[in-house]
């Protein structure tokens, strides 16, 4: 079972409906949770999906439209009521702090933990977070206001020790860390045992990119080349392309074209306009260009 998962909390667009919640996702990697966008209802969805609030330490906001950030004040307040003491870092364009700080001053002045802000330049592709499990990069997007997506790149795990072989060669425990990192082993009589005889490779590191909201932007293709899973907004069908251009959003066909050009392994589309009661036309439109496309939906858990 994969330890890199995407939980879909909401995949609708700005106008609320009974079918979809506003944008929010949780990236789960090696027992840590990273939230991307926080529309209304995000914390309730975390409850429904049994995601532990205490494992969430980083929130990445793409831009300051309400359907991507109106859930933040409630979530921050709830974390305080749950007795959180560790800091919470919110990453995003500078406007995110401008929006949140007055609310925190008014309603959350006595939080038992610290809310930190990391300003991200939405016009620049850059490393914005690195920990022992992954690296997160910003992806400049094309929207009506400054907006960026995020690329989550898992770090390669260490090789697996073949216990029978390390026992056979009597490898000391003190050498195991070096061998996991790729070192050969030299026996007391000077024989060099190749690392490949003592280990087997770990599963390849996985990559996931979140691109919402954006107009058709082929310039992002090199930044997401050959990733494992791409989430790309598909707000409109091609027949509504005039509206997509007016609002700086993408059609399902355009999302699929980005996936095709980037040669990603799989495409998930979301941020659906409230005008569509039936999403099959969007899926069909995308699959004509990129067959390995599927629809996002609330409650889904995708293994990368």
Q: Write out the catalytic residue numbers.
A: 67
| C-alpha distance from residue 273 to each of 233, 237, 250 (Å) | 10, 9, 11
Asked if residues 147 and 141 have their Cβ atoms less than 8 Å apart, the reply is: yes
| Dist CA 251 CA 235 (whole Å) | 6
The dihedral through the CA atoms of 233, 234, 240, 242 has a sign that is positive
The token duo for 77 is 């307040």
Cα angle 283, 285, 289 (rounded to 5 degrees) comes to: 110
Secondary structure of 120-165 as H, E, C letters: CCCCCCCEEEECCCEEEEEEECCCCCCCEEEEEEECCCCCEECHHH
Please provide the DSSP assignment of 160-196 as one string.
EE-HHHHHHTT--GGGHHHHHTT--EE-TTS-EE-HH
| C-alpha distance from residue 201 to each of 159, 163, 184, 206, 255 (Å) | 5, 14, 14, 14, 34
Nearest to 209 by CA among 197, 198, 196, 222: 222
Distance from chain centroid for Cα 291: 22
DSSP 70: T
Asked if residues 2 and 227 have their Cβ atoms less than 8 Å apart, the reply is: no
């Amino acid at each position: 079972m994969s330890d890199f998962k995407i939980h879909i909390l909401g995949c609708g667009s700005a106008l609320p409906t009974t079918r979809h919640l506003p944008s929010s996702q949780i990236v789960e990697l090696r027992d840590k949770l990273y939230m991307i966008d926080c529309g209304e209802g995000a914390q309730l969805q975390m409850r429904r999906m049994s995601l532990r609030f205490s494992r969430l330490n980083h929130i990445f906001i793409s831009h300051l439209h309400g359907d991507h950030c109106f859930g933040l004040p409630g979530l921050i307040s709830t974390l305080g009521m749950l007795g959180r003491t560790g800091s919470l870092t919110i990453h995003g364009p500078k406007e995110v702090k401008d929006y949140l700080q007055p609310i925190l001053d008014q309603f959350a002045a006595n939080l038992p933990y610290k809310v930190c802000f990391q300003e991200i330049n939405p016009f620049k592709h850059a490393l914005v977070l690195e920990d022992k499990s992954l690296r997160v990069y910003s992806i400049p997007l094309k929207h009506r206001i400054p907006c960026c997506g995020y690329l989550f790149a898992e770090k390669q795990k260490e090789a697996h020790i073949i216990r029978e072989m390390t026992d056979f060669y009597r490898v000391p425990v003190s050498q195991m860390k070096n061998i996991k990192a790729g070192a050969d082993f030299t026996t007391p009589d000077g024989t060099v045992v190749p690392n490949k005889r003592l280990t087997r490779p770990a599963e390849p590191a996985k990559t996931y990119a979140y691109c919402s909201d954006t107009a058709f932007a082929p310039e992002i293709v090199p930044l997401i080349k050959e990733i494992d899973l791409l989430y790309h907004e598909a707000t409109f069908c091609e027949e509504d392309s005039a509206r997509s251009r007016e609002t700086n959003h993408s059609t399902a066909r355009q999302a699929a074209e980005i996936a095709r050009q980037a040669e990603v392994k799989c495409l998930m589309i979301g941020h659906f306009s409230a005008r569509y009661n039936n999403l099959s036309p969007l899926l069909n439109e995308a699959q004509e260009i990129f067959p390995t496309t599927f629809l996002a939906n609330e409650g889904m858990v995708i293994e990368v």
